A and B are shown apart, each in its own frame.
Chain A
């Protein structure tokens, strides 16, 4: 990763994907609105009891963030696959895993980061106190990169398969379980005044592991899909 920023090809991929997201803002908006709506349905369905809402908040908000990140996953490589840019990425002299990392980073910046930033607003609906909101944002910030990176493996494996959207969900959701447990666990621990350090450390470990290993698996899966 050391030469990531010096590598103009990686920057080109990152810049291209961010530019494309800027030109097609509706894709970003879909993710955000999905998160907003799913997490707003629970208070409406369960009723405005603050004690109940705040006890389900960690799990509900994390699951909503997880699903919001996932609906955009099937688009991660499919457009590049259809228009041939993926072939050109495979034929670039740079290691494919690095280029893939740039793509996943762009996906996180476009679909993950906005959810992290929106989370405290949604948390208010669930009557969460300020210090818990802070832990919620922090846990999402640490955990959502893992979601994008692990999800990329599923997106690459299901490339060109019919009905890939649902297949990605089946492949990827079980792999999200550790991130969900530690992420929601951190928020719940802070609600009960316990230390969140262990949860957050494990969450960061998940993300680091995913950032290092997932691009390699994704690159291998892409090579198979393009054949």
Chain B
């Protein structure tokens, strides 16, 4: 479904990676590994369409993502390094707003269910400003329980999470992949995710 052909990324004068090929089908998981600064985040941003490849192209269902951005983006959930949360809004408001922005109008009960799933429901009505780093991350990740998109691109989703939450998230990822979803993640942690097929892409600096 998602293919990338010969991606090259140059930042400034530095070549981060070149000629990277990705092919991802329903139910499969791609780990992007590499040391700090090897271009993992840049690759993920490139696959989302946030960053233009210096060479090569990304295709969704055989069509360049630039040519049919709407159908690609409605199938994509991206959670980057930044959580995309507003400090002055509550966890619940943030979750509902981000779901609506993704074209998914959800009720308050559904949002609460998602927050409960990742164990943060008791902070639902607190402004995100007062939450800890890990709690903020969990609020951002709660949208994975609401989204219907097929492709998840997650940049270090396990960073700042406690062990119990890592387990919960890994289970959610496994369920998504079993339902024919696709996921691309970067991580430095050793986490077992149940997937029919998983690939590893190693970027070297």
A-side residues, CB < 8 A to B, are: 8-9, 11-13, 15-16, 19-20, 23-24, 82-85, 87-94, 99, 226-227
- Which A residue's beta carbon lies closest to that of B149? A93
> How far, in whole Å, are A12 and B99 apart by their CA atoms in the complex?
9
> How far, in whole Å, are A23 and B93 apart by their CA atoms in the complex?
13
**B84 near A83: Cβ-Cβ < 8 Å:** yes
B88 CB-CB contact with A under 8 Å = yes
B-side residues, CB < 8 A to A, are: 48-52, 69-70, 73-74, 76, 78, 80-89, 93, 97-98, 100-103, 105
> How far, in whole Å, are A187 and B85 apart by their CA atoms in the complex?
44
Given A13-B101, A92-B102, A93-B102, also A87-B88 (CB < 8 A):
no
> How far, in whole Å, are A15 and B80 apart by their CA atoms in the complex?
24
> How far, in whole Å, are A88 and B101 apart by their CA atoms in the complex?
8
Residues in chain A near residue B80, CB distance under 8 A: 84, 87
15 residue pairs of the A-B complex, CB under 8 angstroms, read A15-B97, A16-B86, A23-B89, A84-B81, A84-B85, A87-B82, A87-B84, A88-B101, A88-B102, A89-B101, A91-B78, A93-B69, A99-B101, A226-B50, A227-B52
**B73 near A92: Cβ-Cβ < 8 Å:** yes
> How far, in whole Å, are A87 and B98 apart by their CA atoms in the complex?
11
CB distance from B29 to the nearest CB of A (A): 20
**B97 near A12: Cβ-Cβ < 8 Å:** yes
CB distance from B51 to the nearest CB of A (A): 5
- Which B residue's beta carbon lies closest to that of A84? B82
Given A9-B101, A93-B103, A94-B103, also A84-B84 (CB < 8 A):
yes
- Which A residue's beta carbon lies closest to that of B103? A93
CB distance from A116 to the nearest CB of B (A): 26
CB distance from B197 to the nearest CB of A (A): 26
Residues in chain A near residue B102, CB distance under 8 A: 9, 88, 92-93
**B86 near A20: Cβ-Cβ < 8 Å:** yes
> How far, in whole Å, are A227 and B9 apart by their CA atoms in the complex?
12
**B103 near A92: Cβ-Cβ < 8 Å:** yes
Residues in chain B near residue A83, CB distance under 8 A: 82-87
CB distance from A13 to the nearest CB of B (A): 7
CB distance from B8 to the nearest CB of A (A): 15
Residues in chain B near residue A93, CB distance under 8 A: 69-70, 73-74, 102-103
- Which A residue's beta carbon lies closest to that of B48? A91
- Which B residue's beta carbon lies closest to that of A23? B88
CB distance from A76 to the nearest CB of B (A): 15
CB distance from A91 to the nearest CB of B (A): 5
CB distance from B22 to the nearest CB of A (A): 18
CB distance from A50 to the nearest CB of B (A): 45
> How far, in whole Å, are A15 and B97 apart by their CA atoms in the complex?
9
Given A87-B50, A226-B50, A227-B52, also A8-B83 (CB < 8 A):
no
> How far, in whole Å, are A92 and B73 apart by their CA atoms in the complex?
6
> How far, in whole Å, are A11 and B48 apart by their CA atoms in the complex?
24
> How far, in whole Å, are A23 and B129 apart by their CA atoms in the complex?
12
- Which A residue's beta carbon lies closest to that of B84? A84
CB distance from A14 to the nearest CB of B (A): 11
> How far, in whole Å, are A85 and B80 apart by their CA atoms in the complex?
10
**A9 near B73: Cβ-Cβ < 8 Å:** no
Residues in chain A near residue B70, CB distance under 8 A: 93
CB distance from A90 to the nearest CB of B (A): 6
